[in-house]
Amino acid sequence: MANVEIYTWTFCPYCLRAKSLLKRKNVEFTEHNIQGDNEARDKMAQRADGRRSVPQIFINDQHIGGCDDLHALDAKGELDALLQQTA
C-alpha cells in the first residue's frame, strides 16, 4: 500500500471530506494536525510548493494537493492506482 500523509486542522470541513474519501477506500494514512503549530505549517508549506491551506495530501512523498485535487484524481479514476503503489 502507498504511504499517505495528510496535513489537517481539527474542524476543517475539507480535511474531514478528504479523510472520509480515504477511509471509504480503506486507506491507512498518517494525519499531521498542524492547528496552531506555525513551525509544522511552515514545514508543510515547504513540502507543498508554498501552499499553506489545509488539507495538503501526499502519496509516497508526491504532493497531491488539497481536498478538491484528491477528489478530482478519484473522479478521473487515477487515485486507486496511486494508492496501490508502494513507497
Domain harbouring 57, CATH code: 3.40.30.10
Q: How many domains does the chain have?
A: 1
- The burial of 62, by beta-carbon neighbours within 10 Å (0-12 exposed, 13-18 middle, 19 or more buried), is given as exposed
Domain hosting residue 11, numbered range: 4-84
Mean pLDDT of 38-54: 97
Phi–psi pair at 5, nearest 5 degrees: -125, 140
* Four-residue CA torsion sign, 1, 66, 7, 63: positive
Q: What is the pLDDT of residue 19?
A: 98
Write down the mean pLDDT value for the chain.
97
- Give the confidence band of 71 by pLDDT, cuts at 50, 70, 90: very high
Tell me the three cell numbers of residue 5: 500523509
pTM for the full predicted model: 0.95
